[in-house]
A and B are shown apart, each in its own frame.
Chain A
Amino acid sequence: MPWLRKYTKAFELGFQTALEYRANFLLSLLSAAYPIVIQVFMWTAIYGSSGEAVIYGYTYRQMLTYTFLAGLVARVVRTGFEYDIMEDIKNGKFSQFLVQPLGYFPYRLFAYLGQKLPNLGMILIILVAVLFALSAFEIVALSISTTLVFLVTLALAVILNFLIFYCFSAVAFWIVEIGFLFEGIRIVTILLSGGIFPLEVFGARFVQAMSLLPFKYTVSYPINVINGAMSPAQIAQGLLTQCFWIAACWGLAHYLWRLGGRRYVAVGG
């Protein structure tokens, strides 16, 4: 498939970029471990002081599992290409994609997946180690089918988060200096996706409201699949909803980009 070859090059480029900054990635992984450490101590203190076995619908072990996995899954689905898109639009580099036989969307998707691969490999090794440890201590009951479904939901979560941020990045057509806003959006979406605390912590209404938005299908849902907190019917429903959001965000992204493209003025290009 010759049309695919140019995008595999984008994939390779992304892969090489990720390898170039591997020390940086390892360090960012280390700084990502701090919130997990703080939360583990916090939950240990809360469960120890309350005397209750179940808080917010989670046992102590389930809460610790959630905390560990939330840190890792949030890292797996994390994007970063939105800053590159901002630069492309700001500096007029986006123009070259308008004249070349290269789609910007597939180019970004392949570069993103290529950039994700080495980091993903490292995180998955840690994730597998954590899951095996949790399984060995009988905190999580791992089966081949649950693990496979978890990996499928995780892969869909990576694509969904890409599409969510591809939608957000279209704002760069209207506001050129949007770097800070991206960071604000990132931190709020982590919170809304359950990447810091389980959504149940914020109350039933909040959980209900979040069910109407795509964010929880990027972190909270895959974790609850492996955590054993969902029935097979709920898992299947979740998978369908994940697919629905992928289709919806894909449609929205294309609409926003077409709209934004009309505003593009190729400054500096």
Chain B
Amino acid sequence: MRELLREIRKHLRIYGLFLKNSLIAEMEYRFNFIGNLCMEMGYLLVKLSYVIVVYRSGVTINGLAPDEILLFIGTFITLTGAYAGLFMLNNFRLRLKIRDGDLDLLLTKPVSLQFMATLRQADLTLFAVDAVAGVIVVAIAWARLGIPVSLVTLGGYAGFMAISVLVSYSLFLLPQILSFWLTNTSAIAEVTDSFWDFNNMPMDIYNRWIKQVGVFVLPIFVISNFPPMFVLNKMPPAYLAWSALLPLILLLAVRLLWRQGLKNYSSASS
């Protein structure tokens, strides 16, 4: 147990260094940094345009009032910060690392290879813009809906957000691991990445079949729907149980596939 805690502490410390290095690299070229900031603001504007559509229509969409939809969109924006800021860059670069044999050097480090290869780079500008904007939107929706600020609501929301982050990490990493077997998975990367945007609106806008597929088969809707559903008391017991199981299943699947894939790693270019 003590060994495990020591390893976790070590990896957390290294992760802090990864973040610091990413920040230094971003600040090095200040126009790049400002440009990145502008780009993220542009994307944020598009996400917020959905809020305008909902509010100006003033309609309760499939049982969800505009303020409730605002909570969903705010959650989506915050989680976009986590996914696109902390994981996406690594996911896209993984196939290049495998193809070019760049994993060789990482294999020699006394740290988990999966940890090094999938969490090393971060886009903190993107993370900051989306996280700050998302939290503000969530706070506005929270206040407008009159949801009590208690340990249960806040703690529950935070807990479901943590589950969502784990699901985002593993769900979007899984197709990238196929790079160990396939030479070029850029097509898979593009298509799976676009799936993220299905969370731009609450899953209640889709029909029953799409909802069930999006929760249980390709669990994309779990990510940004479960945290607001919990605080709005709209979480069926089946979803509650699934939210506890899913991250474990996905993390295990990632681990097993990663180990299997690593056996196939041929260090091609070195």
Partner of B194 from A31, A55, A180 at Cβ < 8 Å: A31
Chain A stretch 159-185: residues in CB contact (< 8 A) with chain B: 175-181, 183-185
A181 touching B190 by the CB < 8 A rule? no
Partner of A31 from B53, B190, B210 at Cβ < 8 Å: B190
Interface size on B, residues (CB 8 A): 40
Majority-rule SS of B interface residues:
helix
Asked if B22 lies at the interface with its beta carbon under 8 angstroms from chain A, I say no
Given A183-B42, A202-B52: A31 and B191 interface contact (C-beta under 8 Å): yes
Asked if B29 lies at the interface with its beta carbon under 8 angstroms from chain A, I say yes
Asked if A133 lies at the interface with its beta carbon under 8 angstroms from chain B, I say no
With a CB–CB cut-off of 8 A, which chain B residues contact A45? 61-62, 204-205
B57 touching A184 by the CB < 8 A rule? no
Instruction: Give the size range of A's interface with the partner.
Output: 35 or more
B191 touching A184 by the CB < 8 A rule? no
A-B contact count (CB 8 A): 105
Can you list, as one digit per residue, whether each of B49-64 has a CB less than 8 Å from chain A (1) or not (0)? 1101110110111100
Can you list, as one digit per residue, whether each of B137-169 has a CB less than 8 Å from chain A (1) or not (0)? 000000000000000000000000000000000
B38 touching A49 by the CB < 8 A rule? no
Partner of A187 from B32, B46, B195 at Cβ < 8 Å: B46
Asked if A226 lies at the interface with its beta carbon under 8 angstroms from chain B, I say no
Asked if B201 lies at the interface with its beta carbon under 8 angstroms from chain A, I say yes
A41 touching B45 by the CB < 8 A rule? no
Asked if A203 lies at the interface with its beta carbon under 8 angstroms from chain B, I say yes
Shortest CB distance B163–A (Å) = 23
Q: Which residues of B contact A (CB under 8 A)?
A: 29, 31-32, 34-36, 38-43, 45-46, 49-50, 52-54, 56-57, 59-62, 187, 190-191, 193-195, 197-198, 200-201, 204-207, 210
User: Can you show 13 pairs from A to B with CB atoms below 8 A apart?
Assistant: A31-B190, A34-B194, A38-B201, A41-B206, A46-B57, A49-B59, A184-B39, A187-B43, A187-B45, A191-B46, A201-B53, A202-B56, A203-B56
10 closest Cβ pairs, A-B complex: A180-B35, A184-B38, A184-B39, A181-B35, A31-B194, A184-B42, A187-B42, A45-B205, A50-B59, A180-B39
